[in-house]
Amino acid sequence: MSASEVPCPSCGFACRVESLQHLSGSQLGCADCVYRHKEAKRDRIVQAPGAAGCLVFLAGAATALLGVVGLNLKVLLWIDAWGADTGWLIRGALCASGIALLGVSVALGKVLPKPERPPGMAPPPIAD
Ligand SMILES: [Zn+2]
């Protein structure tokens, strides 16, 4: 650690004083921490609709599978309140909405820019 370097308040690695930036609120971090913070925030935004979509699709698929044998999930009993045809329409809509939300997730992943990796930062480990 040279004279102009300090330990990063977030990760503890030596970094240049002038490279410290605000992460969130008053917390400071080095360029690498800011990059990781931005990357994690982007990942959360991209993955949230996909996770919700999986749940909605699974609920639709589960109630459809159970509906075939004349059963239903307790939380989805209301589905058949307007008749069997409407119930199947709602089951289909649940599956379709789940797939649509997954599509939103994929689209966000393509549209939202990835944060720029700071120069000198070690590349991520290569997955096998
Ligand atoms: Zn850091």
Is residue 9 one of the residues assigned to a domain? yes
How many residues comprise the chain? 128
Is residue 65 one of the residues assigned to a domain? yes
Cα 16 to ligand 1 centroid, rounded to whole Å: 10
Annotate 82-102 with DSSP letters as a single string.
Answer: G-HHHHHHHHHHHHHHHHHHH
Give the model confidence (pLDDT) of 52-109 as tens digits.
Answer: 999 999 999 998 999 888 887 777 788 888 888 999 999 999 999 999 999 999 999 9
Tell me the C-alpha distance between 33 and 19, whole Å.
10
Q: Which domain holds residue 69?
A: 5-111
Is residue 128 one of the residues assigned to a domain? no
Is residue 125 one of the residues assigned to a domain? no
pTM of the model: 0.73
Cα 44 to ligand 1 centroid, rounded to whole Å: 20
Q: Residue 2 pLDDT > 70, yes or no? A: no
What is the number of domains present in the chain? 1
Is residue 117 one of the residues assigned to a domain? no
Contact indicator for 31, 118 with CB cutoff of 8 Å:
yes
Is residue 116 one of the residues assigned to a domain? no
Cα 19 to ligand 1 centroid, rounded to whole Å: 10
Cα 7 to ligand 1 centroid, rounded to whole Å: 8
Q: Residue 23 pLDDT > 90, yes or no? A: no
